Amino acid sequence: MEKQFKFIISGGGTGGHIYPAIAIANELKSRYPDAQFLFVGANDKMEMQKVPQAGYKIKGLWISGIQRKLTLQNAMFPFKLLSSLWKSYWILKQFKPDVVIGTGGFASGTVLKVASMLGIPTVVQEQNSYPGITNKLLAKKAAVICVAYEGLDRFFPPEKTIITGNPVRQDLLEIDEKRIQALTYLELDPTKRTLLVLGGSLGARRINQLIAEEIDLFQDLGIQVVWQCGKLYFEEYNHFNEKNNVHVLAFIDKMDFAYAAADIIISRSGASSVSELCIVGKPTIFIPSPNVSEDHQTKNAQAILDKKAAILLKENELNEKFKVTFADLLSNDEKQEKLSKKIHKLALPYATREIVNEIEKLIKE
């Protein structure tokens, strides 16, 4: 009789940590239908809703990040950390997992730390081109570190570090075949070029301000805009739907259609977004968020820029450079084609499968 495997998967705080964790669980479940799964996240974070919606059990820890300024939350951090380490210990002792997988976030840090102390094999999935402090510390004891960018063996033990890519939605692999269907679904004009604007599920304030400021420019250039402004900003920008060829959405439920319809994309450069955009292979302008730890969004975008595969504009450059940069890209078909080909070459579309192959090696040992 085949052994019934048990997996603990921990990652959260943002969709960029949660969706890869769920993708890994789904792939493991497809290979081991009788396996048991338990997710561990942070109380009051989005994983506490998203993971059960995906059909998995989750336990929450009392943990949160350290704020950049002096706050009561920072003063509570040592108590939260001790509480989370202690609860992680009891979760691990009771569940007895064969492997613990971490996709990032503070909950992931405590669970993997305790698992490694108990001698349970751990897998770190680092999504960014520049790792955070937590993963650098966890990597020393990890069995395998799965990364999405070249050159991370300067931060991690090279013998454990494997380039797999980041798990992405598999429905993005054949978007070229969906273009006509996508234009119909999004009610777009097939004779016009389409700009897709992405700021993440919550939205990006500076990107929204930029699009609002430049909406007349886009109209003058004769392009239509699909603008995902985020649920926090929808009421503020919804009135732009009254303009011709402008489609403002709080959230895009069919991202494969949005990507299929797009000719040019403006996006933040979180790890998951960058991995998706490499697969999509459209000319992209990255506007990184400057408000994230380790400035990792800028570093993610820079890694693509280094391959001459995208355009990078920092928020403090937008007033000076955006109009010229965008108009130049729109008018230069050759540049668009070069960017498309180069970013598509960086795609790692089978990341989930590769990560689970590494987990499988551990359980078979």
Which residues make up each annotated binding site?
14-16, 128, 169, 201, 252, 297
Q: Is it the case that residue 66 has pLDDT exceeding 70? A: no
pLDDT of residue 64: 65
pLDDT of residue 280: 96
Q: Quick check: 354 and 146 in contact, CB under 8 A?
A: yes
pLDDT above 70 for 119? yes
User: Which residues fall in the annotated binding site for UDP-N-acetyl-alpha-D-glucosamine?
Assistant: 14-16, 128, 169, 201, 252, 297
Q: Which CATH superfamily hosts domain 6-167+349-364? A: Glycogen Phosphorylase B; (3.40.50.2000)
pLDDT, position 26 = 95
Q: Is the pLDDT of residue 71 over 90?
A: no
- Other CB atoms within a 10 A radius of the CB of residue 154 amount to 7
pLDDT of residue 68: 53
Q: What is the pLDDT of residue 146?
A: 97
Supply the pLDDT for residue 228. 96
User: Which residues are registered as beta bridge partners of 281?
Assistant: none
Q: What is the CATH number of domain 170-345?
A: 3.40.50.2000
pLDDT in tens, 158-174: 999 999 999 988 888 88
Confidence label for 11 from pLDDT (cuts 50, 70 and 90): confident
Residue 77 has pLDDT above 80, yes or no: no
Query: What percent of the chain is predicted at pLDDT more than 90?
Result: 75
Query: How much is the average pLDDT of 63-68?
Result: 60
Convert the pLDDT of each residue in 192-240 to its tens digit.
999 999 987 778 999 999 999 999 999 999 999 999 999 899 999 999 9
Give the strand pairing for 264-267 and 311-312. Answer: unpaired
Return the minimum-mean-pLDDT range out of 87-96, 103-112, 229-238: 103-112
Residues of the chain with CATH 3.40.50.2000: 6-167+349-364, 170-345
> What does pLDDT average to over the chain?
92
What digits encode the pLDDT tens for the residues 283-294?
A: 999 999 998 878
pLDDT score for 67: 53
The reported pTM is 0.88
Task: List, for residues 260-317, the tens digit of each pLDDT value.
Answer: 999 999 999 999 899 999 999 999 999 999 988 789 999 999 999 999 999 999 999 9
* Residue 252 pLDDT > 60: yes
